[in-house]
Structure 1
Amino acid sequence: MRVFILGGTGAIGSPLVRELVKRGHDVRALARSEASAAKLAAYGARPVAGDIAAPEPWVARMPHVDAVIHVACDVDSEMGKIDAHLVDILLPSLAAQPAKARIIYTGGCWLFGATGEEIATEATPLRPLAAFAWMLPQLRRILAAPEVCGIVIHPAMVYTAAGGVFDRFAREARQRRAIRVVESADVRWPLVHSEDLAALYVAALERAPARSSHIGAAVEGLSVGRIARAFAKRFASGHQEPHIISADAIAAELGDWARGYARDQRLSGAKARRELGWLPRHLDPEREIASLP
């Protein structure tokens, strides 16, 4: 397929572009800088100059595509307006394509509330973190649009062994500092490795029906205390127990969006496994942390 990627150099987009190229798809990706264009070209994609904040010029010259995958996001306070305008411009353009195009939109685990002992599924009502509530009108609009084949992926917390949501843990452990966790060591995070998430997007591109949503959770829920202790052990930190900080403190440091780190969640990826044949390979984050060089 000819696939156009928005956000192709980010934590989700980079492995996605590489996976699509490996699977033989013709990948075009938006690049807002020469550095991003070079990175995309190195992955095997064709960069297209443009910015999601000003979609009119590049949408007007966008070639015929079979699908658009939207994995671009920012924690900027204007992101809601930017995303709404992007969808305003993008949907009519896709409607004019020779064949009905697929569009895959990215939601996230923080659109779900704290789950306690329940395990959230695609049927669970959404209760978004305030900082990401702007996503709801857009994902609902895309799923309802008759002119496209709309699909939504809800990634869990995205990690690599020492990156993604584990980046701060790794840095603090290497610095021999106490690893900070928000609100409680018992808070659970649903997790997905970036490579497994890329495989899910490709499966959705190739097999998901229109108006479907899929949760990308390979690990239903792992406590942040266990994650922190795994890093402390690997780097022989003198602080084996995590240091608890408040949600207010992390919000003051990083922004209000970071209150999501305090959400105790368990999410199921069973539907994606069952319906799309998704087979995540990274199922033991603690073992991956222990194997870090």
Structure 2
Amino acid sequence: MRIFVLGGTGSIGSPIVRELDKRGHEVWALARSDVSAAKLRGCGATPVEGDIAAPARWIARLPPIDAVIHAACDFATEMGAIDARLLDGLLPRLAAQPKKPRFIYTGGCWLFGATGDEVATEDTPFRPLGAFAWMAPHLARILTSPEVDGIVIHPAMVYTADGGVFRRFAREAIERDAIRVVESEAIRWPLVHADDLANLYVLALERAPARSSYIGAAIDGFSVGRIARAFAKRFGTRHQEPQIVSPDAIAAELGEWARGFGLDQQLSGAKARRELGWRPKHLDPEREIARLR
């Protein structure tokens, strides 16, 4: 298939592009800089120059495509409006295709809010973090759109051993006296390695029925304190005990979206395992951290 990827150089999109190329699909991807374009070519993709914030400048240059994977998000305060303009421009273009394309839209774990001791599934009602509330009607639009066969994937907290949501821990383990944790060490994050998540996207592309949703969680919930302590141990951080900071403090530093770091969550990826044959391989993040150079 010819697949068009939005966000193809990000922490979610880059592994997707590599996995699609490995599986023999023809990949086109949006690139907003020469550096991004070079990175995409290195992963086997054909870059399309443009920015999600200005879709009118590049949509007309899209070739006929079989599917779209939307894994892009601008973490600016206007990210909801940016995404709305993107869908407003892209969906009519896709409707003009000779064959109805598939469209995989990326939701997120923070749409489910704090779950505590309950393990959320695809049937759990949304209680979205305020900064991402706009996403719920957007993904509903994709699932009900007549222009495309829509599918939604809700990634858990996406990591690599020292990247994704772990990047800040790795940096602070080296640069600070203690690693900061939002709210409490006991906060649980649902986790998924970027490579496992990429495999889920490709499985959904190839196998998922239209109008279906899947949670991409390889680990239902993992204590953030254990993550921070694993990094502190590996890099010899002066204080092994994490420094607790408030959601207000992290929001003031990074933006309102960062309040999500303080959500205590557990999410289940059982549906993806059952229906798509998804088999995550990365299930021991502490071991991966301990092996870092």
Quick check: 1:131–1:256 contact (8 Å CA) kept in 2?
yes
- Runs of 5+ unmatched residues, structure 2: none
Query: What is the DSSP-based 3-state SS (H/G/I as helix, E as strand, rest coil) of the residue aligned with 1:47?
Result: strand
Alignment of 1:70-219 (within 5 A): 70-175=70-175, 177-219=177-219
Structure 1 residue 137 displacement after superposition: 1.3
- 1:223-263: CA deviation from partner (whole Å, max 9, x where unpaired): 11111111111112231111111111111111111100000
* Deviation of the 1:120 alpha carbon: 0.2
SS in 2 for 1:259: helix
Which residue of structure 2 lines up, in the alignment, with residue 249 of structure 1?
Answer: 249
- In 1, Cα distance between equivalents of 2:176 and 2:70: 38
In 1: Cα distance, 2:152 partner to 2:9 partner? 20
Give the TM-score of the pair, scaled to structure 1.
Answer: 0.98
Q: Distance in 1 between matches of 2:77 and 2:251?
A: 14
What is the distance in 1 between the residues matched to 2:47 and 2:196? 24
- 1:50 is displaced (CA, Å) by 1.2
Could you tell me how far 1:217 is from its partner in structure 2? 0.4
* Alpha carbons 1:104, 1:150 under 8 Å: kept: yes
Q: Deviations over 1:64-102 (max 9, x none)?
A: 100000001011111111111111111111111111100
Give the TM-score normalised by structure 2.
0.98
1:176 to partner: Cα distance? 5.3
* Amino acid across the alignment from 1:72: A
The aligned residue for residue 283 of structure 1 is: 283
Match of 2:232, SS state, is helix
Give yes or no for contact 1:116–1:264 (8 Å, CA) kept in 2: yes
Q: Which residue of 2 aligns with 1:12?
A: 12
TM-fit CA distance, 1:35: 1.1
Whether the 8 Å contact between 1:31 and 1:37 is mirrored in structure 2 is: yes
Superposition CA RMSD, Å = 0.9
Q: How many angstroms apart in 1 are the aligned matches of 2:127 and 2:109? A: 10
Name the CA distance, whole Å, in 2 between partners of 1:163 and 1:37: 21
Partner of 2:222: 222
List structure 1 runs of 4+ shifted beyond 2 angstroms: none
Contact 1:176 1:235 in 2 (8 A): no
- How many Å separate the matches in 2 of 1:183 and 1:169? 15
Instruction: Give, as a single letter, the amino acid of the residue that structure 1 aligns with 2:209.
Output: P
Distance in 2 of aligned mates of 1:94 and 1:253: 39
2:88 counterpart SS class: helix
Q: Structure 1 residue 20: deviation in Å?
A: 0.5
Give SS of 2:76's match: coil
Offset from partner CA, 1:181-220 (integer Å, 9 cap, x none): 0110000000011111111110111011100010000011
**Which ranges of structure 1 fall in alignment gaps of 5 or more residues?**
none
> What is the CA-CA distance between 1:140 and the residue it aligns to?
0.4
d(CA) in 2 for partners of 1:237, 1:7: 34
